[in-house]
Amino acid sequence: MIYRKFLKGDIFISQLGFGAMRFPTLKNESDIDIEKTENMLDYAIENGVNYIDTAYPYHNGMSEIFLGEYFQKRKIREKIFLATKMPVWKIEKFEDFEFYFNIQLDRLKTQYIDFYLLHSLWKGSWEKVRDLKVIDFLLKKKKEGKISFIGFSFHDEFNVFKEIIDFFDWDFCQIQLNYMDIDYQAGEKGLSYAYNKGIQVVIMEPLKGGKLASPPNNVLNIFESYEIKRTPVEWALSFLFNKKEVLTVLSGMSDITHVVENINIASNYNFGSLNQKDLEILMRARDEWLNIKSIDCTNCKYCLPCPYGVNIPKNFEIYNEGVRYNDFKEASYEYEYLKDEEKASNCHECGECEEKCPQNLPIKELLKIVDKALRKF
């Protein structure tokens, strides 16, 4: 295992972290398969993983409970850097910070959290907890020794990310990044911005929910034509390990084979491991993924502004994402983040956009298709 020095503390973090959101289950999401999960964690820790990331809602609250019992049973709490997250969507008043934090300490059977994050910040949730003085609460807990390092996980656009980064001297932050999402949300721009301010970044969704582990044939052909043979997972993880700004890469492993493979990769790649030809292959693979789409929108934005506020290119982008990865359920979550006036469902069929579209797309009909596909979830 390769370790990275944490800039805000004299500690070293395994560059592969264990995400506790996708443990194997039995009957339902809450019913974690204890034997399989313990075997996975045992192997990971014995082979150098020392960063475990969970959160209040994972496995309907059972992830934190399971880990608390696991740490107590194995007596290894002091060997692990534990990360969990404040459920900011549940916060309504200042006292709620203390209430939920204490629940998490109790669930995890611990007196302190090493890496504590505000969970899934976007503009609205950030402004809410900011105005409720969340920083005062976090600093108080840090002074009491109950939190070692303060951070946040993020799901919004770069300008919001920049605003949050600039507001406080965070110890770390967490963003979604993989070779397909370099311009998505905070993206590579956010990665660099944070690091240039002395803030290392934890990476989530390195395989885009597992989708990058099983690419279509046109993408596989690019990888297989290259002189150096790597699995799709190896390509995806090495892309992130190659970056000096990354503190650790979280993998939501759900099978022992994932653990073994990921640890092997994390033991063989570091920042600077990939050369220019390697990176060019990854970008060629990315281009092939992007060529998989149903609506041939070029995002030229000639159709904007819509007189009713519909964000036409964004609706098409989300729909094409569903087509590309054969996952409209995931795409529907992104659709829900749009403002009501921006959604395809707000089209008034005035036709103004179609007159301006250089691709001559039947936008009115396409927006109906988008709305039908993304609303049914």
338/273 same-domain check? no
Please identify which residue in the block is written with the tokens 């990331």: 53
262/333 same-domain check? no
Tell me which residue range forms the domain holding 324. Answer: 312-375
The last residue of a domain, from among 237, 267, 284: 284
255/141 same-domain check? yes
Is 304 inside any structural domain?
A: no
106/68 same-domain check? yes
Helix, strand or coil, per DSSP, at residue 251: strand
Contact call for residues 174 and 145 (beta carbons, < 8 A): no
317/263 same-domain check? no
pLDDT digits (tens, 9 = 90+) for 143-171: 999 999 999 999 999 999 999 999 999 99
Is 190 inside any structural domain?
A: yes
19/116 same-domain check? yes
Contact call for residues 24 and 37 (beta carbons, < 8 A): yes
Give the per-residue pLDDT at 328.
93
52/186 same-domain check? yes
- This model's pTM is above 0.85: yes
Domains contained in the chain, number = 2
Is 331 inside any structural domain?
A: yes
Is 302 inside any structural domain?
A: no
Among 103, 29, 25, 35, which Cα is nearest to 65's?
Answer: 103
Give the per-residue pLDDT at 297.
93
Give the per-residue pLDDT at 101.
98
Is 299 inside any structural domain?
A: no
CATH of the domain at 269: 3.20.20.100
Q: Rounded distance, CA 253 to CA 63, Å? A: 13
Q: Rounded distance, CA 92 to CA 97, Å? A: 9
Q: Rounded distance, CA 65 to CA 303, Å? A: 50
317 contacts: CB under 8 Å, gap ≥ 6? 297, 299
84/199 same-domain check? yes
Give the per-residue pLDDT at 337.
86
- Whether the upstream peptide bond of residue 362 has omega within 30° of 0, thus cis, is no
120/190 same-domain check? yes
Q: Rounded distance, CA 43 to CA 366, Å? A: 49
Give the per-residue pLDDT at 312.
97
Q: Which residues of 261-280 are buried (b: 16+ CB within 10 A; e: fewer)?
A: bbbebbeebbeeebeeebee
Is 79 inside any structural domain?
A: yes
Q: Rounded distance, CA 338 to CA 186, Å? A: 17
Q: How many CB atoms lie within 10 A of CB 43?
A: 15
103/142 same-domain check? yes
Contact call for residues 206 and 237 (beta carbons, < 8 A): yes
Q: Rounded distance, CA 350 to CA 214, Å? A: 41
Is 301 inside any structural domain?
A: no
User: Could you say which residues of the chain have pLDDT below 70?
Assistant: 377
9/125 same-domain check? yes
219/346 same-domain check? no
Is 268 inside any structural domain?
A: yes
Amino acid at 354: E
Give the per-residue pLDDT at 375.
86
State the helix-helix crossing angle for 158-167 and 187-196, rounded to 10 degrees: 20
Among 211, 210, 212, 189, which Cα is nearest to 201's?
Answer: 189
